[in-house]
Amino acid sequence: MDKKCKLPAQKFVFQRLGVAGLFILMPSVALADAAAIEFGPLQLTPLVSAEVYHDDNFLRSSDQAISSLVTKLSPQVALQMDSAQTQLLANYRLDDFAYSASSSDDATDHVIDANLAHEFNARNRIELSLYYFDGHEERGKGLSQGSLASDVEVIEYTQDNLRVSYELGGLGANGRLALAFEQQDYEYQNERGLTRVRDREQENLTATFYWNLTAKLELLAEMRDTANNYDYFNPESTLGTLDSEQTDYYLGAQWQATAKTSGALRVGRYDRNYDSSARQDSSGSSWEAWVEWQPVQRATVTLRSGRASRESTGVGNFIDAEDHSFNWRHQLSGRDSFTLELAAGKDSYEGSDREDDRSTFALSYERELQRWLTVAVGYRYGERDSSVDSNDYEQNIGFVRLSLSL
């Protein structure tokens, strides 16, 4: 059966949070509010969310906007253990997508995320994080942007991450050293003529020294070394392999200025060197910054900004990416809250003429009907304005989500 997108004639949705951000996609029912099944020191928490959304351009197409009603069912189970010296948090989630406009876009994703932290004593801590994803890329993202969105099957891939970190020094000591090793592996499962050259393994070493100036302010110096090793390159390409090594250097600070304000800032530069002499090495400035502010007791404002290099999704040697976001979450009462998010970014595909400007606006309202039952409604607008016209798109999504726990 042809799995390519069939277009209808007419139009009709812990401490460091682990390798990939543990539970960033949790349903609306908070883990802290859900009832757990206890097995001695372990707590098992089942959760499920059901979402229906209308997407007016699920291909993210510049000239062929096709709308679809999408249903998303997400059962998951969380395992938690918390003792004086050891904390464990693990999660398995299944995301099942069904598209009314194109059954060939139906997909099922599996996500496993786990974090284990242990404190040997006040001066020695270790943390292990695991992440595994087996699923798909939405059309118009990743490797299927522009005209490819309707020309290829839904791209499927697996990603597995392992991160081990160690900290030496007391949290209140004048000096503290953090070391980390992370390995990521990406392997695409289909459309191998397009995706084979994107299979890769990435290894990262990070060393950070924290200098405690006051009880609420730490200075830091950090170095990261990242090796990108691609499994295959097209021998007919005159540019050769995408294998590279990048070193990032940062100076910065993190602070808890008051009970209402905290943040962190890293400013530095990167140096990227390619194994292939046909590809141009690159260097430039980079930064990471975030500030969280509580102007009133029930409101939290989060500002983020960053610039970093990312692996290319099709053209150029790599992506010089810049991102800025504003998030405002307001607890209207004990049961009601709303969230406003604004984001903007720019992607420069180094080694090509392509440049993209990205923007997002999102607004959602959430109400806790019962401790175990939450309903949310929202709207999301996304736009990409590219120097390559076929990669432009606008997208409007409206959703309703129901989340349940024990």
Among candidate residues 251, 252, 248, the one with its CA nearest the CA of residue 263: 252
**Which tokens sit at 199?**
């299979």
Rounded to a whole number, what is the distance in angstroms from the first to the last CA of the chain? Answer: 41
The pLDDT tens digits of the residues spanning 262-292 come to 999 999 999 999 999 999 999 999 999 999 9
Task: Give me the mean pLDDT over the 193-214 stretch.
Answer: 95
| pLDDT reported for residue 171 | 83
Q: Cα–Cα distances in Å, from 164 out to 21, 132, 159?
A: 15, 15, 17
| pLDDT reported for residue 5 | 47
The pLDDT tens digits of the residues spanning 14-42 come to 333 333 444 433 444 455 577 888 888 89
Domains of the chain are 37-405 (2.40.160)
Q: Is the dihedral of CA 314, 318, 320, 321 positive or negative?
A: positive
Cβ atoms < 10 Å from Cβ of 266? 21
The pLDDT tens digits of the residues spanning 248-260 come to 999 999 998 777 8
User: Could you please report the per-residue DSSP string of 332-389?
Assistant: -SSSEEEEEEEEEEEEEEETSS-EEEEEEEEEEEEEEEETTEEEEEEEEEEEEEESSG
Distance (Å, whole) CA 352 – CA 127: 40
Distance (Å, whole) CA 282 – CA 242: 13
Is residue 234 very low, low, confident or very high in pLDDT (cuts 50, 70, 90)?
Answer: confident
The pLDDT tens digits of the residues spanning 47-87 come to 999 999 999 999 999 988 999 999 999 999 999 999 989 99
Among candidate residues 292, 222, 298, the one with its CA nearest the CA of residue 257: 292
Residue 112 has pLDDT above 60, yes or no: yes
**For strand 175-188 and strand 200-214, is the pairing parallel, antiparallel, or unpaired?**
antiparallel
- Output the pTM of the full model: 0.88
The pLDDT tens digits of the residues spanning 330-377 come to 999 889 999 999 999 999 999 999 999 999 999 999 999 998 999 999
Strand partners, 399: 53, 378
Residue 147 has pLDDT above 60, yes or no: yes
What SS3 state is found at 391?
A: helix
What SS3 state is found at 318?
A: strand
Distance (Å, whole) CA 152 – CA 143: 10
The pLDDT tens digits of the residues spanning 319-338 come to 999 999 999 999 998 899 99
